[in-house]
Amino acid sequence: LPVATDATCSGLQILAGLCRDARTASLVNVLPGERPADAYAVVAEHAKPNVPVSIQPYMDRKTVKRVVMTVPYNAKPHSNRGYIRDALKEKGVEVEKDDLTATVNAVRDAMDEVVPGPMAAMKWIESEVAKAIKRGATELQWVTPSGFVVHQRLMKQEKTRIELKLLGSVQRITTATGDSDKVDLMHHKNATAPNLIHSLDASLLHLSAIRFNAPLALIHDSVLARASDMAVLSCIVRETYMHLFAEHDYLQSWADQIGATTPPPIVDTLEPESVIESPYFFC
């Protein structure tokens, strides 16, 4: 019988390891606990006093989950609005525009306080990427712990205006025809943190898979194996995370690879070795 286990908010797990932030690690089950930790519920509770009174009764983990899950991948307030609006709509609540704005701001502010290490790391990554592009870099490159070489080349698109005739009227639209020779600074700033996290997610599962000699299926932050093999696989996944972040200062290594001019914001309160004893790291 195949069994699947998933990471707990894998973006925050990776960022917690990168900046060695014990507070965040404890909320996403990198650190051991008697019960599964729930970062979504903690953020919701922290934001609750700062949202409009009409929204407070509905502030729970389900309302904020998609925001908390996607902010580590650089989701912006515009998409946050849609996630919270949809979550409230499922509860039968129609939210006014200003109340929605206040709610989004409260949730993002709560994340700055609840998971400070990852939020600081993302801001630092965005800042250093902008500096690299302004120094003349045309692409970013880094090598993951599993040896995969990432080439991030994001160029502004060439666009042209075309006219289409529809039902007797002419519609003018702009369409992309290919990449230009100009680097897309904003795209690099928005894409780098998500791509870095995904490249480390991939390394975690890649390095785990090559040590595991049994049937296995992988997708993003989930592993699936036979029930009789899960004890072995669970140990391997935890040991691999430990090796990634306890034996190497990968955020500093990444900083060196892109030529960062300031040191990364390492909180340095986490001992990644503790993940070995965490029953809910992947669960």
Q: Is the pLDDT of residue 84 over 90?
A: yes
Looking at residue 166, the DSSP 8-state letter turns out to be E
Q: Which residue, 207, 209, 242, is CA-closest to 223?
A: 209
Mean pLDDT value across residues 243-266: 95
Q: What percentage of the chain carries pLDDT values higher than 70?
A: 100
pLDDT at 167 exceeding the cut of 90:
no
Under the banding of pLDDT at 50, 70 and 90, the label for residue 30 is very high
Helices 116-134 and 185-209: angle between axes, nearest 10 degrees: 120
| 72-89 as b/e: b if 16+ CB within 10 A | bebbeeeebbebbbebbe
Contact (CB, 8 A) for 189 and 126? yes
Segment 63-72, tens digit of pLDDT:
999 999 999 9
Is residue 8 within a helix (H) or strand (E), and if so which, with residue range? none
| Average pLDDT rounded to a whole number, residues 106-111 | 97
Is the pLDDT reported for residue 168 higher than 90? no
> Quick one: how far is CA 13 from the chain centroid?
9
All residues at 6 or more sequence positions from 40 whose CB lies less than 8 Å from its CB, including other chains: 9, 61, 62, 64, 65, 68, 69
Q: Flag whether pLDDT at 173 surpasses 90.
A: no
Whether residue 174 has pLDDT greater than 90:
no
